[in-house]
Every structure is written in C-alpha cells, then in structure tokens.
Amino acid sequence: MYVRLQDVERSFGNKTTWDTPFITHYKNFIEEANNAVFSNGKSNISLNYNVFDLPNNYDLVYIDTPYISEKGVGVDYLDFYHFLEGIVNYDNWHNLIDANSKHKRLKLNGSDWTSPSKIEKSFERLISKFRNSILVISYRSDGIPDIDKIVRILEENKKSVFIYESCTMKYVLSTKKSTEVLIIGR
C-alpha cells in the first residue's frame, strides 16, 4: 500500500492500474476466472506433483517448465508463484516458508529445471517418460536448451513434431524481445 499511495515518480507499472480501486480489479478478475470455466463433457482432474512422480498414462501432457535465459539465469517458480504454491499446499505452507528470509519467501528446492547444466537431461527424462502421450511444451525462443535441441529430443521419442510461434514480445521488466513457442510432439 505504501508504494501504491505515495506520490513518487514511478519507473515501472501502469499508473491507471495503481489508481484503480482494488475491488474493481477483484471483480474483473472474478469475472475473468468465471468465464474461463467450461465443461468439455468429460471427467477431468488437476494434479500438483513433481512431474517425475506422476503415472504416465495420459492422453495429453502440457509442460510449462521453469525458464533459463540464454545467459544461464534460471527462474525458480517458487520465487514467482509463492501465493499460488501456498494455495495448492495450504495445509503444509507453514513448513515451506523460509523464516530467515526478509520477505518470507518459499524455501527453494534447487530444481534441475533451474540449472543450465541439468535442464537438458530433465527434458530428455520428461519427454521419454511421456513418450506415449501427446506432449505440448510451452517455451521461450531464447531459452536453454534452445528450441532446436528440444525438437531433437522430441523427434527421438515421437513420430511427428510441430512448432507454433507467437508474435515477438517484450516481457515486463525485460529489455529483450523473445517469442513464446509451443512445441507439440505426437
């Protein structure tokens, strides 16, 4: 609230957003979430596990791994999705918090998905595990490993591989443009 209410020069963000009452944002988000709910006429489930602990009997597996920039900087999702992790692990949330950190961040787990030297092997293991499922991998064009490497791993496990790229965009707080890519292995 301090940042929102202070009359200071802003170097990021959208002043209109800051000045909009929270209740207005809340109502918009609730409407957006409610409009995203639909029935496909089938029984569906959502799971929250380490991907390597899941059974491998799925028709389709959507993968959105943590991202490692071309400079080798990994993004640990626990740093970005603290609130969501708290919701899905609510009963155990208090055990996940690093009480010694200033902002009470979640304890990081040192995932192979955030290590430039280990992520390629993680992709190989993941793609091999779900070789009998359709795989949809969401990735960025400038990540480690690069798109060509992920495609080669998929081609070793799949009959066909398709690549769909979005328009080039600049992410918030980033100075570089990149492309969102969907890589589909069937």
For β-strands 177-185 and 161-170, DSSP reports them as: antiparallel
- Residues 127-150: tens digit of each pLDDT: 999 999 999 999 988 889 999 999
Task: Write out the H or E segment, with its range, that includes residue 120.
Answer: helix 119-129
pLDDT score of 173 more than 60:
no
For the stretch 62-99, pLDDT in tens is 988 888 888 888 877 777 777 777 777 888 888 888 88
* Interval 20-47 mean pLDDT: 87
3-state SS, residue 98: coil
Q: What is the pLDDT of residue 14?
A: 66
Domain ranges of the chain: 2-76+111-185, 77-110
Give CA–CA dist 186/158, Å, rounded: 6
pTM to 2 decimals? 0.69
Quick one: angle between helices 119-129 and 147-157, nearest 10?
A: 30
What order of strands is seen across the sheet that includes strand 177-185? 60-63, 134-140, 177-185, 161-170
